[in-house]
Structure 1
């Protein structure tokens, strides 16, 4: 199973549209995960229409329309892997333990908010992934998103994709 992980698209404030490589990856994915901060319903509608399955949450910058359509926390079982999605996890220090305490029933937690790519495993085995942002790199050298492969209920491969600078 192929997953596309993204977050913090902030359209149309940070960019006018999603980058072409990200949209191409949407078409190839079995499931798309968006960890919040859409800021517009058009992007939600676009990913809903183009993806085979969308697992998504709202973020702190999302208004009432998005909050009415999306949960604060989403959960899904993908090939036996227990997956959660949330926008904010708090500061980087202590994140693994804090998330493991909050989500003891998950194998994988995908989050956003910081725009900083993150890939760690908590002491009890919870994997934490933040794909960064495909449209707003903030203090990072590149805009990013992630893809992941599931095999037999396990996260087999995670790839961070760096996007070319916008023109």
Structure 2
């Protein structure tokens, strides 16, 4: 049975936005599994995602402290429809990332990561897929805030889509800086 995944990272709620965009909350409702690669900032978002998602696979990021680090692992692992998935916040510099991650996570099919706020989708020499969904709340130097969706089915990840969000406005609950 195909499993719908929602990939998030670097939400920084409420530091960079008061809440996730409505489009992302709709994607949470549609997903079978929500994957979050850290930098939550506030435990309230973790509580809400746990309550509103069917299943959550998540780790903490460098901006997460206290209860977030107590409740979440530095690296999360899950098998979803035969896809061996890992979730970590930081992977280091872009140069050499594929080789480093292949060595460090040689038992995975997919590694979801965050930290840079820059979307990333590559395949390592060993065949592991590296995915960074960017950030749905803090685009930094990117043209848009982003998140990803994908499907896991029969040991394969497919239908990986990078979604761009409209620029936030004060009415959407996002903070402008």
TM-score range, shorter chain: over 0.9
What is the distance in 2 between the residues matched to 1:160 and 1:138?
17
Out of 58, 61, 64, the position equivalent to 1:59 is 61
Whether 1:109 and 2:116 are equivalent positions in the alignment is no
Question: In the alignment, which residue of structure 1 is the partner of 2:175?
Answer: none
Q: Report the TM-score, using the length of structure 2 for normalisation.
A: 0.93
Q: List gaps (5 residues or longer) in structure 1.
A: none
Question: In the alignment, which residue of structure 2 is the partner of 1:145?
Answer: 147
Q: List gaps (5 residues or longer) in structure 2.
A: 170-177
Q: CA RMSD in A?
A: 0.5
Asked if the contact 2:82–2:153 (Cα under 8 Å) also holds between the matched residues in 1, the reply is no
What is the distance in 2 between the residues matched to 1:36 and 1:102?
19
Equivalent runs, 1:1-167 vs 2, <5 Å: 1-167=3-169
What is the distance in 1 between the residues matched to 2:163 and 2:91?
22
Give 4+ residue runs of structure 1 displaced > 6 Å after superposition.
none
What is the distance in 2 between the residues matched to 1:4 and 1:17?
17
2:143 partner SS: coil
Count residues with an aligned counterpart: 167
